[in-house]
């Protein structure tokens, strides 16, 4: 008999303990504050947070802190030798009212971004769409051919050879041979040709990470969706693209958009290599060149920080606009 009582006591204790545990687990989100809920979730996912901690620490040190410091320095005059002097909005007033070259830089940057950004984005997706239809071995080969210019370092300098300003340049040599011109054209010293040539080179080297992400996204689309779409009334490939393919790869589309925007607004090194620093009559002078001029050569760090802040805000605005446009995909 004592043993039975002991068993009953144990069972009762287990039931009460289980009920208490169940009661402890059954916590409504509405019964907790945001801070308490966040802390609870962090404790529950502590292993995941431990794994991403190294990256987040480095990201915070080398990305977040510099961005914040740049924003603060944009309200100062700072030459890296003396303590910064707070001038509030003087740098921004100077940019728009006293700096004529910055106005040229904004115009060239917006023209460049408006052409190369959408064009490279659409070109990357269309080529990825066609390449995705090829056999696996042929797909790998064609992908390498289109992707190679973006990873080949200074391969864009071949354009400097093609459009060299002497008779040994391929284009000048052909034009002279055909009798179309009598003297070589200084392509990268003529403001009529500088910007169009730089745009062409930018597009040629633009099939980079976004291009690969589109190919990966196209390969992850569930093929059964196309069969279901055919049953629901999808009539052609264009409707498949709009109602099935694009909505299924929105993460890749967003990533590609961010990369295209970053590349189109941050394009400067190739222009410098081809057209010089500065380009003739500032015909291809961009905000990145203006930033490099004041930050890397004149060491006016406060003024350069104001330029960087404006460029950052322009890119944020472009990203928000693209996000809004992508949200309409499939509707």
pLDDT at 27: 63
pTM recorded for the entire structure: 0.77
Tokens of 105: 């830089």
pLDDT at 26: 54
Q: What is the pLDDT of residues 2-32, one digit of tens each?
A: 444 545 444 444 555 554 444 455 567 667 7
pLDDT at 55: 94
Please report where in the chains the tokens 């890296």 appear, as a residue. Answer: 80
pLDDT at 211: 86
> What's the CATH number for 93-326?
1.10.3720.10
pLDDT at 301: 92
Which sequence spans correspond to the domains of the chain?
Answer: 1-44, 93-326
pLDDT at 24: 52
Rounded CA gap, 61 and 57, in Å? Answer: 6
Q: What is the pLDDT of residues 182-198, one digit of tens each?
A: 888 888 888 888 988 98
pLDDT at 15: 52
Which residue ranges in the chain fall short of pLDDT 50?
Answer: 1-4, 6, 8-13, 19-23
């Amino acid at each position: 008999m004592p043993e039975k009582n002991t068993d009953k006591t144990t069972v009762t204790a287990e039931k009460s303990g289980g009920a208490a545990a169940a009661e402890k687990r059954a916590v409504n989100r509405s019964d907790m504050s945001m801070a308490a809920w966040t802390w609870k979730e962090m404790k529950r996912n502590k292993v995941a947070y431990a794994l991403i901690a190294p990256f987040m620490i480095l990201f915070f040190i080398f990305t977040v802190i510099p961005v914040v410091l740049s924003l603060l320095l944009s309200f100062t005059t700072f030459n890296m030798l003396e303590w910064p002097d707070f001038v509030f909005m003087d740098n921004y007033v100077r940019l728009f009212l006293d700096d004529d070259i910055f106005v040229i830089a904004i115009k060239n940057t917006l023209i460049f971004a408006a052409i190369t950004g959408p064009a490279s984005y659409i070109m990357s997706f269309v080529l990825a769409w066609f390449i995705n239809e090829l056999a696996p071995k042929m797909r790998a080969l064609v992908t390498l051919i289109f992707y190679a210019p973006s990873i080949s370092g200074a391969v864009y300098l071949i354009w400097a050879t093609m459009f060299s300003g002497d008779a040994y340049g391929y284009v000048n040599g052909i034009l002279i041979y055909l009798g179309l011109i009598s003297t070589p054209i200084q392509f990268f010293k003529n403001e009529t040709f500088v910007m169009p040539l730089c745009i062409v080179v930018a597009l040629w080297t633009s099939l980079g990470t976004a291009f690969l992400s589109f190919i990966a996204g196209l390969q992850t689309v569930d093929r059964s969706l196309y069969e279901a779409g055919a049953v629901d009334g999808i009539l052609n490939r264009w409707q498949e693209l709009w109602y099935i393919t694009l909505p299924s790869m929105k993460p890749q589309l967003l990533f590609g958009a961010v990369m295209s925007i970053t590349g189109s607004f941050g394009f400067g090194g190739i222009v410098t290599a081809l057209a010089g620093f500065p380009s003739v009559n500032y015909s291809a002078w961009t905000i990145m060149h203006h930033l490099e001029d004041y930050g890397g050569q004149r060491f006016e760090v406060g003024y350069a920080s104001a330029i960087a802040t404006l460029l950052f805000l322009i890119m944020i605005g472009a990203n928000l606009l693209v996000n809004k446009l992508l949200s309409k995909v499939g509707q």
